[in-house]
Copies of this chain bind each other. A is one copy, B any other.
């Protein structure tokens, strides 16, 4: 691992602060001053590293959030011995994370997706969901689910989880996530017969 330069650390701090603020309060409520204050970075560095301002920072923060969650979710999937276990693990991870934030941290992407933002930010969100769809289809394929039904299931799974995160956040309860997790496992059980991955 190479050490980060001071500039890279500052950029990271700014992106992390933006991501945290987007999750808690969305795009419009997050001002550049909030980002500077939350990051502890000097104001000048924001304009230096992100000349595109809030749009550029938000796009970077959504990408970083996607990458972070990809790593966390891939770890859960890799540790699971079945598709059912993988889904249960993902839902538990999301529910625990939401609870740990005292139900303040929802999905950063969803919060921004429901606001009117610029076209670059909207495109970053579309790309984010498309990447998740591809990942889900790939994983379902390993469990013997064909591409066409897997694609439908990916949209259903993303919708269920994004919707349950809204309900869970506002109700301050893990229950909606637990409920959709069970429903998702029931749907998948009707679609996949193998209990082991094909690549095992």
Q: Tell whether, in the assembled complex, residue B116 and residue A104 are in contact, meaning their CB atoms are under 8 Å apart.
A: yes
Assembly CA distance A162 to B152 (angstroms): 17
Copies in the complex: 2
CB <8 Å contact, B152 and A158: no
The answer for the CA separation of A119 and B85 in the assembled complex, in Å, is 36
Q: How many residues of A contact B (CB 8 A)?
A: 42
| B122 and A111 form a contact (CB under 8 A) | no
Kindly state whether residue A143 has any CB partner on chain B within 8 Å: no
Q: Which residues does chain B contribute within 8 Å of A167, judged by CB atoms?
A: 113, 129, 155, 158-159, 162
Over the window 18-30 of chain A, the binary record of Cβ atoms lying under 8 Å from chain B Cβ atoms (1 yes, 0 no) is 0000001111110
* Stretch of A8-16, A48-56, A176-184, A192-200 with 4 or more beta carbons under 8 angstroms from chain B: A176-184
Q: Which residues of B contact A25 (CB under 8 A)?
A: 28, 115-116
Q: In the complex, how many angstroms separate the beta carbon of A25 from the nearest chain B beta carbon?
A: 5
Beta-carbon contact of B164 and A159 below 8 Å: yes
Residue among B107, B110, B171, B183 making CB contact with A129, cutoff 8 Å:
B171
**Which residues of the partner chain B approach A182 to less than 8 Å between Cβ atoms?**
152
Binding site for B on A (CB under 8 A): 24-29, 104, 106-107, 110-111, 113-116, 122, 125-126, 129, 152-153, 155-156, 158-164, 166-167, 169-171, 175-176, 179-180, 182-183, 187
